[in-house]
Amino acid sequence: MTSPPNLYHEKQKLQYCLIHTVNNILQKKEFDATKMDEICYGMNESKWFNPHRSWIGTGNYDANILIAALQKHNLKVVWFDKRLGVEKIKFEKLRAIVFNIPSRTLLTLYRGRHWFAVVQKNEKFYNLDSKLSAPTVIAEIANFTKNHVDSGDSEVMLVVEQDVDEDTVVEKI
């Protein structure tokens, strides 16, 4: 199955996967390293050893930057409590799902993390991972999410419009 021609999809550069993730959710090039660094400096003034990004300026932004960037566009992030089970997620209320997964780099001594978004558009979910050559349709979003949750080392964050009540996104026990 092919993606719709109007689906925006950025490709991976350096450790800018969080920039690509945010832009893919917004479906346009809204953020770059300069704008993300400005958010970092707003949280911590240190330019060299800022805890929210790589000290060498190659990206590697943290979840705080994701949340702040999306808030600027009236979106909010709801951390998914993996103990609840994926079947509790109300997928129809989501704008996107953000995954943070382990990622190996060329340096085998460094095991980093990779951000990517799955975006809902026209009642379908699309994997917009910046490491993919093109977006892919996800036929079973619950199974896709469950596979990541069951891996034990993935973090899952749910993105909703600002006016959506967080308590309605995941059914509580």
- Say if CB 114 and CB 100 are below 8 A apart: yes
Cα(160)–Cα(48) distance, integer angstroms: 33
Q: Residues 9, 37, 129, 148: which is the catalytic one?
A: 129
129 included as an active-site residue:
yes
Catalytic residue among 9, 20, 52, 114: 114
Residue 20 phi, psi dihedral angles, 5° rounding: -60, -40
Selecting among 9, 17, 20, 40, the annotated active-site residue is 17
Q: Look up residue 154 and give its DSSP letter.
A: -
Residue 40 annotated among the catalytic residues of the structure = no
* Cα gap 166→170, rounded to integer Å: 8
Active site residue 114: yes
Return the structure tokens found at 136: 């892919």
Residues marked as catalytic: 17, 114, 129
